[in-house]
Structure formats: C-alpha cells, structure tokens
Amino acid sequence: MTSPAPLRHKEIFPVVGLDLEHAGQVSTEVQRVLRRLGVEAEVVRRAGIVCFEGEMNIVLYTPGGRIILLVYDDRVELIFSDQGPGIPDIELARQPGYSTAPDWARELGFGSGMGLPNMEANSDRLEIRSRLGEGTVIRATFFRRRDEAAGSGGAAGA
Amino acid sequence: MRLREVAELVGARFLAGEELADREVSAAFAADLLSDVLAMVREEGVLLITGTVTAQVVRVAEVMNLAGVLFVRGKIPAKSTVEYAAASGIPLLTTPRLMYETCGLLYTHGLPGAKRKPLPFEHDQPGPPPP
C-alpha cells in the first residue's frame, strides 16, 4: 500500500434499538447508495447481507447505535457501533450456532447464532472490539475487484 | 417457472406485486428462520417460502434480491409490510396450504431448490446430494 485510496462517500445512519418496524431499513438504504455510486453488484450484495445482520444485532440487543458507510475506490467499509451490553467472549460469539438470544428474538426468526459467522463469511475482513457494559464496534471491509470485469460471481472471503 | 404458475399450482393469491406475475423464479428456498435465509441463499431470483410474516421478511427479500415471497398456512403480514413490499417491487403471495405440501407441489412441477451456500463450519464436509 503506497498511496491510500481516497474516500468517495461517507454517510452515518442512526439505528434505534428495539424498533422492529424499521429494522432493516438502513441495509436497504446502504444498498441503494452503493448502487447509485456504481459499486460492483457482488459487493453491494455482500455489504447488504452484512449490514442487515449488523443492523439486526443493534436493534435486537442494544438501546441503539449507528452504522457508518465509507466508500473508497478500492474498498467499502461498514462500521457498526452500539451502546449495548458488549460481547463477553468474542471468540465464542464468532462460533456458528452460539447464541444468547432471548426467545422473543428467536420467534422473529433471528437469534440462531449465525449472525457474526455470516458477517464473517460475507466480508473480506471483520474486526470486533467490545467492552462489557459499554458497547461494541464492528468493522467489516469489502474489497472491490473492479479489474475483474463481468463473470466470476465473486466468492466471499474464505 | 413464473410467479403466475407458482400461484396457480399452490392456489395462492397475490398480496402485492401482481403486476410482476410474469417474473421468472429460478429456484426456491423454504424456511421460517430468516437467519438461515441470510446465511444460506447465494443466488438471486429465488422464491422464499415461509410462514414468518414480520416486516423483516420483506427487508431480507429486498437485501437478497429475491424474486418474491410466498407465505404458507394462510399467513398474511401486517398492512404496513404489504404496502412496503408493493412500493419496493417485492411480490408477496399467500396460500392456505402447509409448507410441506407447497414445497412438494412446486418441486414436482419442476421448480428446483436453491443452491445452498456452505456454512463456515462445513468446509470439510461433502455437500448435499443432488436431487
């Protein structure tokens, strides 16, 4: 990395905790913004899925937070931050199937312990920082492979 | 298979997006757990068959670019959810049939299952057998 890629777009989306009526709204809006900016369809899809998982985590488990969208020439970043309870054991939470979800979240079709693993599977890099009683910050990075024109549907980060 | 044929086969009616009845459906995925839809469906243009009627079903359909959502067991989402789907171009259908019957009918009439994305913990295992 010699010269850093310039930032093309920055947008901050507030997320209200427990607002199930609007949960998912930020994700669809993020996809709209990315499409408008001409970001590759494969990145738009992965970012949408990761954003939805992160947004649901904030809505279901915290009083609220925000999602920051950063679009660079070579990558897209999504930063999720909340003032929630924090994640006691991040390694455990990254394991597929591990969940602390209450019954009411499961009844909504969530909380099967696939959120963080799915965020990991659909991003190229996922960094998680959490402090008990203070909150959690997650940064997901998606590299743009613009030189690979059409074809090659694009595999998620392995 | 077109959405119109899906509706005829399982006796479903459109709640939203009837003007998109000629939209082609490439495959189908059935689940009540939205987490599984988000983690396992990898194609676009898939029909989601579900008994879950929360507002998030339509958001998931939008984020994953699904062809439409078919509710089973006579389920109907809230009016605001139907209106949102109509405005977002997500066709919604509902059938009184149970999920098992609905899937069986569509499968035997040639609508294949969506290709499943391997989960992070399944890398070393063989995939499901082909139909």
Check residue B125 and give its pLDDT: 54
Does residue B69 sit in helix, strand or coil?
A: strand
State the nearest Cα–Cα gap between B33 and chain A, in angstroms.
4
List, in order of start, the domains of chain A with CATH numbers.
16-143 (3.30.565.10)
Of residues A158 and B1, which shows the higher confidence score? B1
Q: What is the mean pLDDT of each run of 10 residues along chain B (131 residues)?
A: 98 98 97 93 95 95 97 97 97 98 98 82 57 56
* Confidence class for position A102, pLDDT limits 50, 70, 90: confident
Q: How far apart are CA B109 and CA A124, in angstroms?
A: 39
Range A130-143 average pLDDT: 97
Question: What is the domain class of B3-114 according to CATH?
Answer: alpha beta
Are residues A68 and A79 in contact, defined by beta-carbon separation less than 8 angstroms? yes
State the nearest Cα–Cα gap between A2 and chain B, in angstroms.
33
Are residues A135 and A81 in contact, defined by beta-carbon separation less than 8 angstroms? yes
Q: What residues of chain A lie within 8 A of the CB of B117, using their CB?
A: 121
Closest CA to B64 of A109, A50, A158: A50
Range A47-62 average pLDDT: 96
Residue A31 sits at the chain B interface (C-beta within 8 Å) = yes
Residue A55 sits at the chain B interface (C-beta within 8 Å) = no
Distance of CA B25 to the CA centre of its chain: 9
Q: Is A6 left (phi over 0), alpha (psi -120 to 50) or beta?
A: beta
The H or E element spanning position A78 is strand A75-82
Q: What is the complex's ipTM, to 2 decimals?
A: 0.85
Contact B120 A108 (CB under 8 A): no
Q: What residues of chain B lie within 8 A of the CB of A28, using their CB?
A: 59, 62-63, 88
Q: Which among B52, B55, B60 is the nearest to A21, CB-wise?
A: B55
Check residue A11 and give its pLDDT: 98
Token pair 């980060």 is found at A157
Considering only alpha carbons, which residue of chain A is nearest residue B78?
A21
Residue A51 sits at the chain B interface (C-beta within 8 Å) = yes
Range A149-156 average pLDDT: 42
Contact A114 B60 (CB under 8 A): no
- Say if residue A1's pLDDT is above 70: no
Q: What residues of chain A lie within 8 A of the CB of B57, using their CB?
A: 109
Domain locations along chain B: 3-114
